[in-house]
Amino acid sequence: MMKKVLEEEPNAVLQLIGSCFEDYKEECRQLARELGIQNSVQFVDFQADIEAYYRNASVMVMTSAIEGFPMVLVESKSYGVPTVAFELDFCELWQEGITAVPKGDTDAMAREVVRLLQNQTFRLEKGMEARKAVEKFRTQETINKWVKLITGIIDGNGVVKQMQAEEEKVTEERAMKIYQKELEFWGQEDLRLFD
């Protein structure tokens, strides 16, 4: 994806932030060298304070094949950084501020990253959408839910089951559609892949 982005935006820089196995990091460095993009890819070790990285970011790229509630997405949205990501139908944060492309389609991902980099007005609009989408997590209602949950766990009063009953449920039909889409993507008859 980054090689394609650089064809349109030669000054773009991809920062990969976080820790991982050294063998994997070296494999990624080797791939960057093979693609001739090593000068445009930075490998940054784990950072306890990543605010400066988000404040300097133009776009967040999320290439995950599977996510549930990715904290990196909450973080980037809170800084107003728009995201380009592969479609994740079961992701809890799939709302404003995200441009979704078909899973595995790096051409589409590159096009959307370039579009955001080249159109500041569009990028700022998507960033504002992103920030607005996480505002609901800052409400007193959210704080009250956390207090209720933690207190209930400590007190052992069965509050977890009560709160689960109150939350919106995914219908069986929707769950099966997501499951079938995943089967198709992974080329599997069932999802033994995740056992």
Helices marked H in 13-138 — which ranges?
22-35, 51-56, 71-78, 106-118, 120-134
CATH topology of domain 2-135: Rossmann fold (3.40.50)
Six-digit token pair at 162? 């009560």
User: Angle at Cα 38 formed by Cα 36 and Cα 40, nearest 5°?
Assistant: 105
Question: CB-based contacts of 80: which residues, under 8 Å, 6+ apart?
Answer: 127, 128, 130, 131
pLDDT beneath 70: ranges in the chain: 92-95, 160, 163-171, 190-195
Output the pLDDT for position 193.
46
Q: Residue ranges per domain, the chain?
A: 2-135, 139-194
Rg (CA), the chain: 19
User: Angle at Cα 77 formed by Cα 60 and Cα 186, nearest 5°?
Assistant: 55
| Distances in whole angstroms, Cα of residue 135 to Cα of each of 34, 93, 105, 111, 184 | 42, 12, 30, 29, 35
Chain position carrying tokens 């064809």: 7
Residue 94 CA neighbour count, 13 Å, CB half: 13
Output the pLDDT for position 102.
93
User: Angle at Cα 156 formed by Cα 153 and Cα 162, nearest 5°?
Assistant: 75
Output the pLDDT for position 1.
96
179-192 per-position pLDDT tens digit? 777 777 777 776 55
Best CA proximity match to 75, nearest among 44, 41, 49: 49
What average pLDDT does the structure give for the chain?
85
121-160 per-position pLDDT tens digit? 999 999 999 998 887 777 777 778 778 878 878 777 777 6
